[in-house]
Amino acid sequence: MKRLLLIPIIATTINYANGYTQADRILDMQKMAKAMEAIQTGFFYNNLDIVNEGVDVLEKTIVKVRAIDSEVNNKDIYEKWINNNLKMTNKIRKKIIQKSEDIKARFKAGDAIQALQAYSKITQQCMKCHIQIRKW
Ligand code: HEC
């Protein structure tokens, strides 16, 4: 039984080693959107556990986000430069993790205003990538 449970985990790991697909990224994005909703719900219900749960998922997921294989292998140098902007991605990732930690600390300390501010900084980071990379 235990072994059966391990197989999908190994399969996923191999998948990641092979690269990062568009489907992987869409799934990660949806996970992060849900995590952000959870954090907001935690704010509204004044529930630290829900906030922490959302932060956890967000932090675990943002570290996986990067350019997908077809973007990394793009022959068009300009497009590749835009889509595989590692410097920007790393910076955004760092900020999101920092602000996530802020949310946890501030909300735990009863400072909902500061927690909310950190939350909105994360939203800005999400949109920064969407605007610059996605041109949304
Ligand atoms: C490094 C760049 C980057 C960052 C940072 C980023 N996104 Fe995205 N996001 C994308 C890209 C690229 C897509 C388009 C995915 C695709 O269709 O290939 C996307 C798509 C999405 C989608 C639509 C997914 C779907 O079902 O089509 C959602 C929702 C989303 N992002 C949420 C977020 C949230 C929430 C954050 C911040 C916590 C975030 N994103 C941060 C690049 C980013």
Q: Which of 29, 32, 36 to mutate to test the pocket of ligand 1 (most atoms within 8 A of CB)?
A: 29
pLDDT in tens, 36-92: 999 999 999 999 999 999 999 999 999 999 989 988 888 988 888 878 888 889 999
Residue of 82, 43, 38, 88 whose CA lies nearest to 60: 38
Report the pLDDT value the prediction gives residue 111, as an integer from 0 to 100.
Answer: 98
H-type alpha helices, the chain? 2-18, 22-44, 48-62, 69-72, 77-83, 86-108, 112-129
CA of 4 to the centre of ligand 1 (A): 32
Condensed to tens digits (0 to 9), the pLDDT of residues 110-125 reads 999 999 999 999 999 9
Q: What's the predicted TM-score (pTM) here?
A: 0.87
Instruction: Tell me the C-alpha distance between 93 and 127, whole Å.
Output: 13
CA of 91 to the centre of ligand 1 (A): 16
Domains and CATH numbers, the chain: 20-134 (1.20.120)
- Where residue 13 falls among pLDDT bands split at 50, 70, 90? very low
